[in-house]
Structure 1
Amino acid sequence: MESFERARLDAYFGKIGAQLAPATRPTCFMVTHLLSERPSFVQAVASVSRLRAVLPKPKSIDSTARREVERLIPCDTLSRELFGTPEAALDYFESRAAGESLVLLDVGGYFAPSLAALCERFSGSVLGVVEDTENGHRRYAGLADLACPVVSVARSPLKDPEDFLVGQSVVFSTEALLRGRGDIPSGRPALVVGFGKLGSSIARLLHAKGVHVTVFDIDPVRRAQALSQGFAVARDRETALAGAGLVLCATGALSLRGEDFPHLRNGAYVATVTSSEDELDGLPNVYSRADAGEHITRYQTTGHYFYLLNEGNAVNFLHGASVGPFIYLVQAEIVAGMHMLSRGDLAPGMHEVSATDRAAIAATWLNYFDR
């Protein structure tokens, strides 16, 4: 990022912070993709909270960005196990922020398994969670009894530009990896698993490249939407997998289980838009593995083989996953979510940022980036 671009970004977040700063500064833990542009956002969060630690998602860490952040804020190692049990989560929070009021910034529902115990047993208080992703939204919404408020930006209209551009980056990275093997998507029937905002973007972009696209989604409403947009719609996953030369997993939850892989057509490529732990549920042990190109693994057993891109992790992170300045809309909405939680007047349950705050964010963003 050029120095003038960084200065503009810092000025933007300064303005957002002035507009939406929490009334009182809560303590904060921050799960994030630590990409090249992210230090400005981290600093923005630190300016309106007592940011105790940044927890970078393991598959999306830019080393330069991490070094910059670590000069100001500790970066801890993130895993599902860290917050997977109440005991582990409580040990972590007590060691970092005993007795303090917490806002948790999440990307993928990492705090969800232990949230009830944290709210009940932590020596301080959990004001709530701000969640950024669809799979995280589902994890929190699926809890039997939410013990605190969760502000989700996953379904915000301010996230629509990001989702569309992430779809573009997924298609770009998938094609780049195939071309590295002397292959191309054209001529390979594609299956898009999941027709949400990301999946629909991927399907449209593949179609624009002349790829025949079939959609599979468990939601009948989304299947109807896909059909209305001219896509073939699979009635069952097994048949769809058998006919696809390229499979893009875009559910944000679980796309393929172990028993699905044998149904893949020989030589099919499989890519995902999020982490392997979210989209893929284990590969059968009968498959042997071998490198088949940069970031491509060949899985083979007797009479069957397929290729997995980037070990099943988000393929677009191989090329930076950049969506330009549109990501700053979502980041500003996360700050707005922190403001909501800091008031302490939200009931336990799922919440969204108000339309008024979203409009103010968009207007500020336009002043800085519509040039």
Structure 2
Amino acid sequence: MGDNVNNPDASLAEAGERRIEWALRSMPVLRALGARFAETRPLDGLRIAACLHVTAETAVAVGVLRVGGAELALAASNPLSTQNDVAAALRSYGMEVHARAGVDRDTYYRHIHQALDIAPDIVLDDGCDLVNTLHTERTELLKGVTGGCEETTTGVIRLRQMAAEHALRFPVVAVNDTRTKRMFDNRYGTGQSTLDGVIRATNTLLAGRTVVIAGFGYCGRGVAERARGHGARVVVTEIDPVKALDASLQGYEVRTMAEAAPLGDLFITVTGNRDVIRAEHFIEMKDGAILANAGHFDIEIDVRALESLAEEVHLGVRPYTDEYLLPDSRRLLLLAEGRLVNLTAAEGHPAAVMDMSFSAQALAVAWLAEERVRLSPGVYDVPGEIDAEVARLKLAATGVSIDTLTPVQADYLRSWRFGS
């Protein structure tokens, strides 16, 4: 178990149980997989170390893995996203959890080490911090790790670089890169939950405001769509010419961050890279501009540069909102300390979204349990049949029917001999 100093008060467990039960209502695919895993026990005897956002939706997901036979230790992938009542509820169920909201960096990494003390066979990561710790500080455990899953764009970027440098020591499935994850989680989940976090933190009217979105990947696309739906003027910044062209053809303004800096009322970074908004941008921004990050790590907005520019910092002018007063009396508002605004100032993706992402991860873990001995170290895509199964289960749960191929159509697709 986690050390008592860092455990939330066990009296929170009842509230956590209610939160988990509420999430469960909107997660029919995971409920179905839980029943299947309880019967087939695909993870019997496996030890899993997980570094994930400790939320109600995650609680449902790890519950499926546990009924599938796994022993699991959980650490938080972001200290500001941890729901203490959920952590307490999981502990009351007898699960090993190392997480508490608001811990410092040292405690955050201590919790990751404590989760790794389980000596895992499989690891689940959300941002690659656990995998990185394994490869740099806990190398004595690597020989026992036979596979892993990664849930985020940021984490997959790091893992692919590790693989390119031949540093990755075991196979990892890029759960983030499934079609269902990118479409449902990244686009619709991030789009809604990011603006939810901004609105909860600031109570700002978006209609008529200029929203600058850095990055037009699946997440950025979702945020842009939702911001436009609120009546905002949307400006997109990009480094990828194809994504920039896509944004332009969808009717968004595409500018450099230098050009956008004096225009924006709200800036949202969602790139997976660092220092996207820097000192030279801060000095051009209008009074009252709001800065928010929806990328996994708190490096997209250069908070240290902002601190160095400010004459005064007023912490907590609203919950999750800090005000930076510049020498010319302009005020810039930073949300959630530059961390994930949707999981800090709000509750993250709706449970219906995470139902699909975690279902893909659960099925990927079961696939890994069977295939890991035949896989070499590297980054692997989720098998297409898993992606399709998750989509089919979700459609069935929502009462949506789709067509199937006729025998003639199936023969046509399998043959190269038919012409026009």
Give the TM-score of the pair, scaled to structure 2.
0.76
Distance 2:266 2:116 in 1: 46
- Note the C-alpha offset of 1:259: 4.9
Residues 123, 226 of structure 1: alpha-carbon distance in 2 compared, 3 angstrom cutoff = closer
- How many residues get paired? 361
Residues 51, 260 of structure 1: alpha-carbon distance in 2 compared, 3 angstrom cutoff = farther
Aligned to 2:363: 336
Q: Deviations over 1:312-342 (max 9, x none)?
A: 2222232322423231111111122212332
Give the aligned residue type for 1:13. Answer: L
Match of 2:377 among 327, 332, 348: 348
Match of 1:133 among 149, 152, 177: 152
Residues 276, 148 of structure 1: alpha-carbon distance in 2 compared, 3 angstrom cutoff = closer
- Note the C-alpha offset of 1:226: 0.4
Q: Deviations over 1:91-148 (max 9, x none)?
A: 6577432xxx521101111124344457953275111220001111111112222221
Aligned to 2:70: 50
Distance 2:235 2:378 in 1: 36
- Note the C-alpha offset of 1:50: 3.4
- Note the C-alpha offset of 1:36: 2.4
Give the aligned residue type for 1:364. Answer: L
Distance 2:360 2:287 in 1: 44
Give the aligned residue type for 1:338. Answer: V
Aligned to 1:301: 326
Contact 2:49 2:118 in 1 (8 A): no
Q: Does 1:240 align with 2:267?
A: no
Match of 2:53 among 7, 11, 33: 33
Distance 1:252 1:10 in 2: 28
- Note the C-alpha offset of 1:349: 1.2
Distance 1:326 1:305 in 2: 36
Say which is worse superposed, 120-129 or 241-250, in terms of deviation. 120-129
Give the aligned residue type for 1:300. Answer: L
Distance 1:109 1:94 in 2: 13
- Note the C-alpha offset of 1:252: 2.9
Say which is worse superposed, 60-69 or 359-368, in terms of deviation. 359-368
Distance 2:368 2:137 in 1: 16
- Note the C-alpha offset of 1:154: 1.0
Q: Does 1:154 align with 2:186?
A: no
- Note the C-alpha offset of 1:233: 0.6
Distance 1:210 1:91 in 2: 46
Q: Considering only CA atoms, is the larger Rg found in Structure 1 or Structure 2?
A: 2
Aligned Cα RMSD in Å? 3.0
Give the aligned residue type for 2:88. Answer: R
Q: Deviations over 1:257-299 (max 9, x none)?
A: 4554333333211111145524333322242211433322111
Aligned to 1:265: 286
Contact 1:166 1:323 in 2 (8 A): no
Match of 2:347 among 299, 317, 320: 320
Distance 1:25 1:153 in 2: 23
Structure 1: state its 5+ residue gaps.
none
Q: Does 1:73 align with 2:95?
A: yes
Contact 1:22 1:338 in 2 (8 A): no
Distance 2:23 2:342 in 1: 26
Q: Deviations over 1:334-362 (max 9, x none)?
A: 12221233232112111111111222233
Say which is worse superposed, 3-12 or 161-170, in terms of deviation. 3-12
Residues 289, 89 of structure 1: alpha-carbon distance in 2 compared, 3 angstrom cutoff = closer
Aligned to 1:168: 192
3-state SS, counterpart of residue 56 of structure 2:
coil
Q: How high is the sequence identity, in percent, across the aligned residues?
A: 21
Q: Does 1:361 align with 2:393?
A: no
- Note the C-alpha offset of 1:223: 0.5
Match of 2:202 among 149, 173, 178: 178
3-state SS, counterpart of residue 297 of structure 1:
strand
Residues 17, 369 of structure 1: alpha-carbon distance in 2 compared, 3 angstrom cutoff = farther
Distance 2:137 2:374 in 1: 19
Distance 1:102 1:35 in 2: 24
Contact 2:201 2:320 in 1 (8 A): yes
Give the aligned residue type for 1:335. Answer: A
Contact 1:28 1:49 in 2 (8 A): no
Contact 1:45 1:335 in 2 (8 A): yes
Aligned to 1:196: 217
Q: Deviations over 1:127-178 (max 9, x none)?
A: 1220001111111112222221110111211111122132112123323433
3-state SS, counterpart of residue 283 of structure 2:
helix
Give the aligned residue type for 2:339. Answer: N
Give the aligned residue type for 1:224. Answer: L
Contact 1:31 1:106 in 2 (8 A): yes
